[in-house]
Amino acid sequence: MANGESDIDTGRRGLAPEGGARRTRLREFQAELMERMQAASTGLPHATRRLGLIAGGRRWLLNLQQAGEIVAAEAITEVPLTQDWYLGLVNIRGNLTGVVDLGRYLGLEAVTPDKQSRIIAFAPGLSFPCGLLASRVTGLRDVAEMTPQDRDPMLDPSWVARHYTDRLEQRWTEIDLLPLLQDPRFLQIGR
């Protein structure tokens, strides 16, 4: 674009940006989201913030202290003789990271990787090189603005922390990654 104009300045919001501009915007978005996530994970005023994502046709929430880097779902290398929900490995900043399709793992609809799909890596503090594939990331959600609903110990797996309903009556389920990492089924990726 001429003279450093943005899509918004020129009124061309509906046009697809050039490849380099698109990557720059994605990097800016990811950098801003990471800054917000880090600020939220270190400060008490933001303790009610969660990362929202869509997987398997459902809405999920991740604690910001358990969520790591968010990357585009590209170049996943398949690993033979693994479960269908274990999609393979991806290189995130020089680290091999396993990728799990959360929807498929739960027996829900599989995520079809596209331009909106993202891999949410587990936080480095969990010491488990894995990430969840999501259809899309919806941004930060404040659970203080939602109506909490208790989990059902008979139906919900141990890694379901709580359910919430937002102002639009949409149901969200918060995942606690620590119990998920202790689930024998999650750890058994081989067929």
Give the single-character DSSP code of 165.
E
pLDDT 10s digit of each residue in the chain, 191 long? 444 443 333 333 344 445 566 666 666 666 666 666 555 555 444 689 999 999 999 999 999 999 999 999 988 999 999 999 999 999 999 999 999 999 999 999 999 889 999 999 999 999 999 999 999 999 999 999 999 998 888 889 999 999 999 999 999 999 999 999 999 999 999 99
User: Taking a C-beta distance cutoff of 8 angstroms, is the pair 183, 165 a contact?
Assistant: no
User: Taking a C-beta distance cutoff of 8 angstroms, is the pair 164, 59 a contact?
Assistant: no
What does the alpha-carbon distance between residue 160 and residue 183 come to, in Å, rounded to a whole number? 12
Q: Domain 49-140+181-187, what architecture?
A: Beta Barrel (2.40)
Q: Could you tell me where the DSSP H helices lie in 43-145?
A: 102-105
Cβ-proximal residues to 39 (8 Å cutoff; 6+ apart), any chain:
46
Where along the chain do its domains lie? 49-140+181-187
What does the alpha-carbon distance between residue 59 and residue 146 come to, in Å, rounded to a whole number? 13
Question: What are the backbone angles phi and psi of residue 165, rounded to the nearest 5°?
Answer: -125, 130
pTM, two decimals, is: 0.75
